[in-house]
Structure 1
Amino acid sequence: MPLWQLLLDAAGAVLVLVLLYGLALVIRRRVLSRHGGTFELSYRVRSERAGRGWLLGLGRYSGDSLEWFRIFSLAPRPKRVWLRDGLSYTSHRDPEGPERVSLYPDHVVVRCSSPKGDLELAMSTSSLTGLQAWLEAAPPGTATTV
């Protein structure tokens, strides 16, 4: 078999794998959305350098927890989970510098505190309203602050 045919077969196989991966991502997002509304939620994993360390993802409220799923992962389970009674809203700001490029255009950066320390999330303003309402809707006697 000539070399060009082997290369063509390899390129075809790679294309099929990329299409299957894309289809799996679409199916995963549908499955996640089925259990409740999901919203675009970015999470900052590293804050050493200004504007860096953001990962795009999906957020979903599940009872008393906020679940975060990486957007380009096929994992069915959330990568991070924050409990409502340990999460409190601190402030929000507009993206600055390189954050404008790495985040969705209409998102704001939200600062929250948790027992493990401060964290930054990025979401749309309507999702921020939803987060604040979810935090305020905590059962009486819990230590959430909005």
Structure 2
Amino acid sequence: MRILEIVGICVAALLLVLFAVLLRGRILMSGGGTIRLQVRTSTMVPGRGWSTGVGTFVGDELRFYRMFSFAFRPKRVLNRRLLTVENRRLPEGPERLSMPGHWVILRLRQTAEEIEIAMAESTVTGFLSWLEAGPPGQPGSVAPRPQITPRPGDN
């Protein structure tokens, strides 16, 4: 009987944790101006190190929140006045397994730091528009759009 009580408490705690994570995600996405994206947090292993989350546009910032976290503070903050898009490419190698096929990877530079983010092709269009629509002064810049060649077998 004691084992059943312990198992019941563990299941209830697990459900409570799952509910808290889902509720946090709903709260973050309820404000509008949110997108699904992945940010590369580690480059130690080629094609790995991607973290899934939600990005919210707040003024001149894109704030990235990890999907499976309890934190209400963003994991990364990208300031549009300091961002430059350096490269655009399709997922390759192991990256194709960790993200949908219609996603695009952007390599950004924020001051001296290089950042890679991935998002859907339609979201990239909105992101680049937001980046270019900054107030006068020193808005982020976008390099010329390179041609993306489809992988063999893609239609």
* TM surpasses 0.5: yes
Instruction: Measure how far apart 1:112 and its partner are.
Output: 0.8
Unpaired runs of 5+ residues, structure 1, are none
Instruction: Provide the residue aligned with 2:23 in structure 1.
Output: 27
Distance 1:107 1:29 in 2: 21
Instruction: Provide the residue aligned with 1:123 in structure 2.
Output: 119
Q: Contact 1:107–1:124 at 8 Å: present in 2 too?
A: yes
2:133 is equivalent to residue 141 of structure 1: no
Distance 1:116 1:82 in 2: 13
Distance 1:8 1:107 in 2: 45
Instruction: Measure how far apart 1:143 and its partner are.
Output: 4.0
Provide, for residues 80-137 of structure 1, a one-character-per-residue CA deviation record: whole Å limited to 9, x for no partner: 1011101111222111111112224432211111113211001111111111000011
Letter of the aligned partner of 1:55 in structure 2? S
Unpaired runs of 5+ residues, structure 2, are 143-155
CA separation of 1:12 and 1:41: change in aligned 2, threshold 3 A? same
2:89 is equivalent to residue 89 of structure 1: no
**How is 1:1-146 mapped onto 2 (pairs within 5 angstroms)?**
5-146=1-142
Aligned length: 142
Distance 2:21 2:100 in 1: 19
Provide, for residues 48-102 of structure 1, a one-character-per-residue CA deviation record: whole Å limited to 9, x for no partner: 3210111111111111000000100011111110111011112221111111122
SS where residue 42 of structure 1 aligns?
strand
SS where residue 81 of structure 2 aligns?
helix
Distance 1:73 1:26 in 2: 10
SS where residue 116 of structure 2 aligns?
strand
* Segments ≥4 residues shifted beyond 6 Å: none
Distance 2:112 2:8 in 1: 47
